[in-house]
Structure 1
């Protein structure tokens, strides 16, 4: 619930200075390691957005896979699963996570007063 509340608050703050009547959609990027369940987040988002500029807005979630850096192969490797954090080529343990922790507000689609 707190993540959804923060998203609504952040989006409302971002459009406060604009001539916006409502937000039609927001897009977020969620990493596989962020421990966020998309269906739960959408449910909470709908609940906390009631009575705000985001009421009825669509929550779009882009899933970000885990990408680690393999020191042996000297390249970034996208992992098919969260565990284990090992290179899929050489099986070296990889603790250098490059992507997968994200929880970012990527975009806000608005309806302005002239629409």
Structure 2
């Protein structure tokens, strides 16, 4: 499962950040996942507890903010939010679009318990 390896990599990064702050545990993580990132939210939420087991993030609350796909049309210059499977301009229907957002997979914030 692709999401399990992503969750394991995330937990490793979280543990590094937490150890730099001498944290006792990680209480909360807020992730941003774009709808065009290739990360399935439900699968990631399912995989995260397995990846976090036995780590400082084991009981952390995981919050996920989903970002829509955002494109700019090369024809009419409109910015729109199409479905990830149909990257077409919603204003004129052109398929000549520039992807502006939706591929994100990043940590927005981490809450740590520090002694």
TM-score higher than 0.5 here?
Answer: yes
Q: Normalised by the size of structure 1, how large is the TM-score? A: 0.90
1:102 equivalent to 2:104? Answer: yes
Post-superposition offset of 1:82 = 1.4
The separation in 2 between residues aligned to 1:5 and 1:75, in whole angstroms, is 38
Contact conserved, 2:30 with 2:63, CA < 8 A, in 1?
Answer: yes
* Residue-pair matches, total: 112
Post-superposition offset of 1:88 = 0.5
Post-superposition offset of 1:44 = 1.1
Q: Normalised by the size of structure 2, how large is the TM-score? A: 0.90
User: Which segments of 5 or more consecutive residues in structure 2 lack a partner in the other structure?
Assistant: none
Contact conserved, 1:28 with 1:104, CA < 8 A, in 2?
Answer: yes
Which residues in structure 2 correspond to 1:1-115 (within 5 Å)? 1-79=4-82, 81-113=83-115
User: Which segments of 5 or more consecutive residues in structure 1 lack a partner in the other structure?
Assistant: none
Q: Point out 4+ residue stretches in structure 1 off by more than 4 angstroms.
A: none
Name whichever structure is richer in helix by fraction: 2
3-state SS of 1:16 partner: helix
Post-superposition offset of 1:34 = 1.4
The separation in 2 between residues aligned to 1:95 and 1:102, in whole angstroms, is 18
Q: Deviations over 1:39-69 (max 9, x none)?
A: 2111211011111110110111110100011
The separation in 2 between residues aligned to 1:91 and 1:32, in whole angstroms, is 20
